[in-house]
Amino acid sequence: MRLFVGLGNPGAKYAHNRHNIGFMAIDEIARRHGFAPWRRRFQGQTSEGTIDGEKVVLLRPETFMNESGRAVQEAANFYKLGVDDIIVFQDELELPPAKLRVKVGGGIAGHNGLRSISAHIGNEYRRVRLGIGHPGIKELVHGHVLSDFAKDDRPWVEALCTAIADNAGLLASGKDSTFQNKVHLVMQAKGFTEKDEGGAV
């Protein structure tokens, strides 16, 4: 079993914020794979389903971003999951818009959701880092992440979430690099990302 955690803030006010792209990604996974209706538990909302034969629980913490770890820990304890069974979908300032990277552990780069999760379950969980770009000035970061995606951003956001959902089985089965490459190729084919130097993704 895998626990897919989408990070964001609860409520309509935040629904289209850049900070909520983690919620958007797992919402699309639930839609594409016919998951069960969302229900309230573990200080959040969960939906259960199967992707390519692997049971997956989706979790949207409703504690607000800086307390996300409470919900993650509660769900992990209930299902008796190890840290390597937990995959967190997060917005990433240090990646250009429409880019995606998967990594295990590492720094939290000031991300309050990751800080909370690491404080509750340790740091060695997998992160699906969803690029939202950096505003260029540190003082603008807060406003950048808590503002809505621009109208021009919506096509790539939808394409990225769809590509993630279509290839989520690879993530569930631990094929992280294949998942990353497939999503990259989809986004490149749609013209949302440039080809990387040397063909590396």
Kindly list the catalytic residues.
19
In the chain, alpha helices (H): 21-32, 68-79, 112-121, 141-145, 154-166, 168-172, 176-189
- Distance of CA 103 to CAs 13, 96, 189, Å? 30, 16, 23
Angle of CA points 78, 126, 81, to nearest 5°: 20
Contact predicate 89/130, CB 8 Å: yes
